[in-house]
Amino acid sequence: MSTLVLLTLTGLGLGALYFLIASGLALIFGLMDVLNFAHGAFLTVSAYAAWRTAETVGGTGGLALAALVGTATGALLAIVVELVLIRRLYGRPREQILVTVGLSLAVPALVQAVWGADSRPFPVPDALSGTVGVLGAQVPVSRFVLIAAALLVLAAVNLFLSRTRYGLIVRAGVEDRAMVTALGIDVTRAFTLVFAIGGALAGLAGVLGGLYFGSLSPHQGTSLLVFAFVVVVIGGMGSIPGVALSALAVGLVQQYANYYVDGYGDFAVVVLLAAVVLARPAPRLAGGVA
């Protein structure tokens, strides 16, 4: 029983991490039809920026500041990439893929050149390094931090989509971008905003990933991105609640399979993906966001 509780909470923590990455991917794809392979690079750079901050400041306050710095770094990076590179390439999917894949290779290499290829320990403050007893299981506190952060982000994204004018533009744009412009709305501003939100969430995921794994490495973002894409495909491009459920499923399946089927977690995720894709009657590429 205690093993199951530990696996479940760890799986939920991992699912929370996937959700933070995948929700940005889903919004960006849903609104702009851009498959952002550079999303993992945003995460990696943000994680290193957060790591430097946490190392320098130290303690719980240092981690809080690191979370801010990481989130801001992700947002800033995403805005620059959108304005400088992606903006010129709307409607040209091949070039977009080349550019974002290029970034996903170049940025980790750059990070590696600066901070080395070895993974670095992420400073976890004492307050978060302990465990909590839940039904006989000793669950690391950081799992709860991740789950809480993901729930907060889910609520915030839903509020943004349902209560703000830009959220309205995003939901409408996911359905029919051309018609949004035909109402006199400049969707390129919504594009930049959605890219910034996606980058900020990836940045936060970079910080929380450091907390979850206790370490960071130049290729962390890229490997997490693979699972985030799986989550998006299962959950439906452009559907935030779908992505949240799918992230939970992927995180749990991965954890359970890793323990009960001897480390076959990644394989189980692929099986889940195949099962969902084959069982689905028609591609759900266009769906409502909220």
Partner 1 sequence: MSTNPEPNSPPSPAPSPAPNPAPPPILSVRDLRVRIGQSSILQGVGFDVAPTGTTALLGRNGVGKTTTVRAVLGLLPEEGEVTGGTVRLDGEDVTGHRTHTVVRRGVGYVPEDRGVFGSLTVAENLTLAERAGGPHHYDLVHDLFPELKARRAQRAGTLSGGQQQMVALARALLNDNRLVIVDEPTKGLAPRVVTEVAEVLQRAAERVPVLLVEQNLAVVRRLARDAVVLDAGRTVHTGDAAALLADRERTTSLLGVGRHERPERSGQQAGERPGEREQREHATKETT
Q: Which is nearer to partner 1, 163 or 262 (CB)?
A: 163
Q: Which is nearer to partner 1, 55 or 175 (CB)?
A: 175
**For the chain, where are the alpha helices, taking DSSP H only?**
2-32, 39-57, 59-84, 93-115, 126-129, 141-163, 165-175, 177-181, 187-213, 220-235, 240-260, 265-279
What's the token pair of residue 148?
Answer: 């809480």
- When asked if residue 289 is in the footprint of partner 1 (CB under 8 A), the reply is yes
Of 4, 31, 6, nearest in space to 170 by CA: 31
Q: Which is nearer to partner 1, 91 or 263 (CB)?
A: 91
CA 269 vs. chain centroid, Å, equals 17
Phi, psi values for residue 242, rounded to 5°: -60, -40
Which SS3 state, helix, strand or coil, does residue 72 take? helix
Task: Select the residue interacting with partner 1 from 76, 185, 211, 237 (CB under 8 A).
Answer: 185
Residues 6+ away with beta carbon under 8 Å from 105: none
Please report how close the Cβ of residue 190 comes to partner 1 at its closest, in angstroms: 11
Task: Select the residue interacting with partner 1 from 165, 262, 279, 282 (CB under 8 A).
Answer: 165
Q: Which is nearer to partner 1, 95 or 266 (CB)?
A: 95
Contact between 215 and 119 under an 8 Å Cβ cutoff? The reply is yes
Please report how close the Cβ of residue 247 comes to partner 1 at its closest, in angstroms: 22
Q: How many residues bind partner 1 (CB under 8 A)?
A: 22
Q: Which is nearer to partner 1, 134 or 245 (CB)?
A: 245
Site string (62-101) toward partner 1, x via CB under 8 A: -----------------------------x----------
Which SS3 state, helix, strand or coil, does residue 2 take? helix
- When asked if residue 163 is in the footprint of partner 1 (CB under 8 A), the reply is no
| Residues from 12 through 51 that contact partner 1 (CB under 8 A) | none
Interacting residues toward partner 1 by CB under 8 A: 91, 165, 168-169, 171-172, 175-176, 178-187, 287-290
